[in-house]
Chain A
């Protein structure tokens, strides 16, 4: 019998089994279950089931981040209802508006722990792989079943091994690796699979970089993603596929509308006029992301007629960026700095796009209508490329401003 991958070991433990294989259907008990503004929907299903108590309230995390602070009366009423639910059901962890984006909070507060199985009502729950946890995105009714039973059925995924080696050249970042990888795998190339990141680049990557990698795995359709931590794959573990990417040869990349896997080197996209640049999201709204943008924007101005929206991923990131002088640099350059949350990334508020506009964004999705008008265009890139593009008012190569 072959050995097990890290993901298989985590799922085996969570389902009380010793040996499981891809394709097996298991009943797994998540260590943590996270939901955001859609907790309202989770509770609606929970109530309709007729349940009165949560199986393990201490394992439940709720973060208000998607429309935060409330942007409409409907959102405000949703938040208000959720605050009552938190009290009534004695939910273990609650983060109110402004605390930050759920995935950032889960890692920043140490709730996502190495080796844990975590489910979240958000497709980017794969982010927890950055600390060696297995994060899986689910829907609201599946989450309600976790509230009721403390477990849910899962199919054991195949593992795709992704080897990242070498060093990134100046101007290329973790986001560029992610975009190249999604381009290589395709938008659903990792459907039902777990991506496992290894190699010397990963070994030296920062927590923030690992979060970007695991976060963007969702854009290849991955069920989960993992940088092995305390739980590692056996040397003879089965994997369905292996991919190798050499960091040295990567140029800054851009994903072009309307599919994340349509990627091109920034050099081929230079000159595309943009109306808005967005720096933020669970993918790239952390301190290092804001810092690299500030290093590019120091003493420079956002192009006239172009908007730069900056959304720190959490209030902690925001505070550190204030104390480190980063926010001051961004404001002097002409940026609009918003409250921490998801807002612009999903077209909820704080930077919605108009008909015919183009935006370069450090976020994770460029689907039609994602950030507002269905007639707007979204280009995805690293924070450095976003900052350089904000200066020029068109897609720009960040290497001109670095080094």
Chain B
């Protein structure tokens, strides 16, 4: 079970607002984290804390393939993103970085910013820790994606595979 404070956003949070193009000349995760979500809420980066959970509407991560969008969120401490749907490339990037993007219809309508949410990855359930009746079910990751997530991301998984092969 992973618990954290919710930050609720609307539909179509695009990669340009997650990390504006002007910051893409610096690949330092800590630098990117300082500007994360600046296009929507310039105060977000100073208020977000490790373990916080993003809750969003449709098409989270729409737009560019820039992996810096997922890197910035991860470096800011966000490990789980619940969204009604994700843009394809962002979804892959998030899994590849060892984050957990969860498709959860109606989550942005159910939860409020500041809710303490608990996510049960195996059971596919997210609930409000103060009011567990407020909960939603979601489809757990497929075995293939789960393997990447469990390894802590694609880099770790491939590194382990190479290590295995060389033994």
Contact = CB atoms under 8 A, between A and B. Distances in A.
A228 interface: no
A316 interface: no
Contacts of B158: 49, 51, 144-145, 148-149
Nearest to A52: B162
Given A38-B66, A40-B27, A41-B67, A141 B144 contact: no
Interface stretch (B18-26, B45-53, B117-125, B133-141): B18-26
Contacts of B17: 367-369, 374
A320 B20 CA distance: 33
B21 A44 contact: no
Given A48-B155, A71-B25, A188-B62, A141 B162 contact: no
A44 B27 contact: yes
Contacts of A369: 16-17, 20-21, 38-39
B88 interface: yes
B65 interface: yes
Contact of A139 (B70, B85, B163): B70
A72 interface: yes
Contacts of B109: none
A239 interface: no
A121 B65 contact: yes
Contact of A370 (B16, B40, B58, B96): B16
Interface residues of B, number: 40
Given A50-B162, A122-B65, A188-B58, 20 more contacts: A44-B27, A45-B154, A45-B155, A51-B162, A75-B25, A138-B92, A139-B70, A141-B96, A141-B155, A142-B93, A144-B158, A188-B85, A191-B59, A191-B85, A348-B24, A348-B25, A367-B63, A369-B16, A369-B20, A369-B39
Contacts of A37: 24
Contacts of B26: 74
12 contacts: A40-B27, A74-B25, A121-B67, A123-B64, A125-B65, A139-B96, A144-B155, A148-B162, A191-B59, A347-B16, A347-B21, A367-B17
A49 B158 CA distance: 6
B14 interface: yes
B38 to A, nearest CB: 7
Contacts of B20: 347, 369, 374
Contacts of B12: 187-188, 259
Of residues A139, A187, A259, A370, which shows the largest number of chain B Cβ atoms within 10 Å of its Cβ? Answer: A139
Contacts of A188: 12, 58-59, 62, 85, 87
Contacts of B127: none
A348 B22 contact: yes
Contacts of B154: 45, 141-142, 144-145
Interface string A113-154: 000000011110100000000000111111011001100010
B65 to A, nearest CB: 5
B22 A352 contact: yes
A67 interface: yes
Interface string A244-287: 00000000000000010000000000000000000000000000
A78 interface: yes
Contacts of A44: 27
Contact of A41 (B21, B27, B40, B59): B27
A187 B57 CA distance: 14
A372 B39 CA distance: 10
A148 B89 CA distance: 20
Given A141-B96, A367-B16, A367-B17, A191 B88 contact: yes
Given A67-B25, A148-B158, A123 B63 contact: yes
Contacts of A223: 88
Of residues B16, B21, B89, which shows the largest number of chain A Cβ atoms within 10 Å of its Cβ? Answer: B21
Contact of A49 (B27, B39, B85, B162): B162
4 nearest CB pairs, A to B: A139-B93, A346-B21, A141-B96, A367-B16
B25 A72 contact: yes
B55 to A, nearest CB: 18
A40 B27 CA distance: 8
B67 A141 contact: yes
Contacts of A346: 16, 21, 24, 64
A46 B122 CA distance: 30
A264 B65 CA distance: 27
Interface string A218-233: 0001010000000000
Interface in A172-231: 187-188, 191-192, 221, 223
B97 interface: yes
A71 B25 CA distance: 9
A66 interface: yes
B39 A138 contact: no
Contacts of A367: 14, 16-17, 39, 63
Given A71-B25, A74-B25, A368 B39 contact: yes
B64 to A, nearest CB: 5
Contacts of A153: 144
Contacts of A372: 22
Interface string A298-310: 0000000000000
